[in-house]
Amino acid sequence: MKLNLKKIKKTALILGKVTTLVLTLLLIGNFISFINDKVYIEAADQAVERVGNPIKGSIYYEQYCVGCHQADGTGMNGMLAADLTDEKRMSKSNEELLTSIRDGYVGKVGQMPPWKGTLSEKQMKDILQYIRDSF
């Protein structure tokens, strides 16, 4: 039995190219999977950050909050109540802001009353989501 070196070299070359192609496809597949996972994780993070229903929150805001914070959320540029358009104020966590709504807050121009006896936890979360989405 005689070995045909030409066939062996050709077969090895083809196997090398096929191996390279398979590895490339695996890398591309892993990269696409990584990108998809990242997109799903970011979407999940955003979903988690949504604390309530902004449509319901707009109704509660109009009923309980607009008198002080005003329709535009500025609280008359902070002279009447906290300015909800202020990025620094709104960079606080949802829990910090919900604590202010729930327990009240003493600020520079006055005091926001605690809403825990008037609003349910769900209503407070709806209001916060409305504020986050609107201002």
The domain tally of the chain equals: 2
The answer on 118 and 67 residing in a single domain is yes
The answer on 101 and 116 residing in a single domain is yes
Q: What share of the chain is helix, strand, coil (3-state, %, to 5)?
A: 65, 5, 30
If residue 6 lies in a helix (H) or strand (E), which one and from where to where? helix 5-49
The answer on 71 and 115 residing in a single domain is yes
Instruction: Decide if 134 contacts 52 (C-beta within 8 A).
Output: no
The answer on 107 and 88 residing in a single domain is yes
The answer on 62 and 45 residing in a single domain is no
pTM of model > 0.75: no
| pLDDT tens-digit map of 5-27 | 677 777 777 877 888 888 787 77
The answer on 36 and 11 residing in a single domain is yes
Angle at which helices 121-134 and 94-103 pack, to 10 degrees?
A: 120
Give the three-class secondary structure for 105. strand
Instruction: Give me the domain span that covers residue 69.
Output: 54-134
CATH number (domain holding residue 93):
1.10.760.10
The Cα 36–Cα 87 span in angstroms is 31
Neighbouring-strand partners of residue 106: 111
The answer on 90 and 128 residing in a single domain is yes
The answer on 75 and 36 residing in a single domain is no
Instruction: Decide if 52 contacts 127 (C-beta within 8 A).
Output: yes
Could you identify the residue written with the tokens 């104020």?
Answer: 89
The DSSP code for 117 is: T
Residue that terminates a domain, selected from 28, 49, 70: 49
| pLDDT tens-digit map of 47-95 | 546 899 999 999 999 999 999 999 999 999 999 999 999 999 999 999 9
